[in-house]
Amino acid sequence: MHNSGIQGRWVKALSCSVALAATLFGLRVLAADAPQFDPALAWDHLAVQCSFGARNPGSAGHQKCLEYMEGVLKKTGCTIQRQDFLGEDPESQKSYFLTNLIAKFWPNRSRRLLLCAHWDTRPRADQDPDSTNRKQPIIGANDGASGVAVLLEIARCLSLVDPGIGVDLVFFDGEDMGRETHIDEYCLGSQWYAQHLEYPLPEAAILLDMVGDADLRIPYEQNSHYYAPQLVDEVFKIAAKLGETAFDPRPGRPVYDDHIHLLEIGIPAVDLIDFEYRYWHTTADLPAKCNGSSLNSVGRVALAWIYQRGQ
């Protein structure tokens, strides 16, 4: 992700049905039959990913992580698709085979929700305070593993209780190879996914990025709030009803992240991200800087949102 507003192509107009859905939401109570998110299992997924080492494209850890995610998802009975494409690291000028991993629950349903995260890690710790580390790849416990960990636990929950709506979990590759100030070099996987997505489009999307910070605070990401305000309000109301105080309904930074390409094709999307993370793009982005309670906060809200939408 990159700290920036939307540049270049601007977002298409979002459907007025989103406002109607948000209004109807206000008349409902939270879904009572949503399965319980297990933070211990989510934490295990984070730890296993980090045990593979750095997971930047071309690394051994990258391949191990892909196989691990597939293995976990196969146990849930979902339909799994690899979406392969070619991406270039502009720093090294090397090209890599990249893979978006798509897990579909109830794939024949026309009403669908999308939850997503990036699974690759940054190939260089360019924000490290120690300049000798800045060519080293990062472990990415928060920036990479945390969002994936939450999605993998959500997959288990979905396998237990039918939410009444189709759900797609998408793990984007190639999010973090870009150079600073070159936003077009980021978010390669979500760009590819959006360009090849067939209709009917998901009715709404939640992106999870850097959600494992031990001192978690998720404000309104400004691009999400500007282009999908009803969805942001919907998600943060759920958080308030659940007592999840890490969700802070005040403006945060605008972030150029994977949700931008979803917004551009007309999918209302909210980026749940704690960008005020001091270990961002450093070699110190390790499991010790994260905790399971943060994963639990985000997982509970995302699950409640799915089952609320499916009622």
Percent of the chain at pLDDT exceeding 90: 87
The predicted-structure confidence for 52-99, as pLDDT tens digits, reads as follows 999 999 999 999 999 999 999 999 999 999 999 999 999 999 999 999
For residues 137-152, give the mean pLDDT: 98
Strand partners, 256: 2
For residues 263-284, give the mean pLDDT: 98
For residues 197-217, give the mean pLDDT: 96
- pLDDT band of residue 34 (cuts 50, 70, 90) is confident
- pLDDT band of residue 181 (cuts 50, 70, 90) is confident
Protein fold of 17-309: Aminopeptidase (3.40.630)
The predicted-structure confidence for 154-173, as pLDDT tens digits, reads as follows 999 999 999 999 999 999 99
For the chain, the average pLDDT equals: 92
For residues 272-286, give the mean pLDDT: 98
Strand partners, 271: 207
Query: Does the pLDDT value for residue 12 go beyond 50?
Result: no
Query: Does the pLDDT value for residue 309 go beyond 90?
Result: yes
**Which residues, including other chains, have CB under 8 Å from residue 199's CB and lie 6 or more apart?**
none
- pLDDT band of residue 30 (cuts 50, 70, 90) is low
Nearest-Å Rg of the Cα atoms of the chain is: 18
CA angle 194, 197, 203 (to 5 degrees): 90
The two tokens of residue 161 are 């209780």
- Which phi and psi (to 5°) does residue 166 adopt? -75, 145
Sign of the torsion angle spanned by Cα atoms 135, 139, 141, 146? positive
Query: Does the pLDDT value for residue 2 go beyond 90?
Result: no
Supply the DSSP symbol for 256: B
Query: Does the pLDDT value for residue 105 go beyond 60?
Result: yes
d(CA 189, CA 1): 12
- Each domain of the chain, given as residue ranges in start order, spans 17-309
Residue 164 one-letter amino acid: G
Query: Does the pLDDT value for residue 9 go beyond 60?
Result: no
Centroid of chain to Cα 240: 21
